[in-house]
Amino acid sequence: MSIIKRVYSLTKELYTLTKNPSDKEKRDEVIDKLTSLLDEREELIQEIKPPYLKEDEPYIKGILGMNKQIDKQLISIQKQVQFDRAQLKKTKESTNHYINPYQHTSTDGMFYDKRK
């Protein structure tokens, strides 16, 4: 199998993996799988050297087309992770504030009485 065909098969696998949304519980496994596939694909892309054969042109066009969709989906996954992290941070802060409400009180505007 030529390098371009292997890159095409990895790209297709990435495309199907990113196209299907995953649950929060399975997201870590999906991200690990995506990372390993992207690393493997990157290594193969480094090995691709011109000139390209005529029979490889449809594969290259397919790779480029799927790559645009993969990029969009990876950005979407990244935004979901960032949103979940922000939600988790808010939850932790509100829980800590509920447990100890006077921990972060402001000392601005204190009144000092100078009379004796």
Residue-wise pLDDT for 53-80, tens only, equals 889 899 999 999 999 999 999 999 999 9
Q: For residue 61, is it within any domain?
A: yes
Q: For residue 112, is it within any domain?
A: no
Which residue did the predictor score with more confidence, 70 or 24?
A: 70
What is the reported pTM? Answer: 0.76
Q: For residue 26, is it within any domain?
A: yes
R_g over Cα of the chain = 25
Range of the domain at 21: 3-97
With beta carbons less than 8 A apart as the criterion, state whether 8 and 63 touch: yes
Q: For residue 110, is it within any domain?
A: no
How many domains does the chain fold into? 1
Position 85 pLDDT exceeds 90: yes
First to last CA, the chain: 93
Which residue did the predictor score with more confidence, 103 or 38?
A: 38
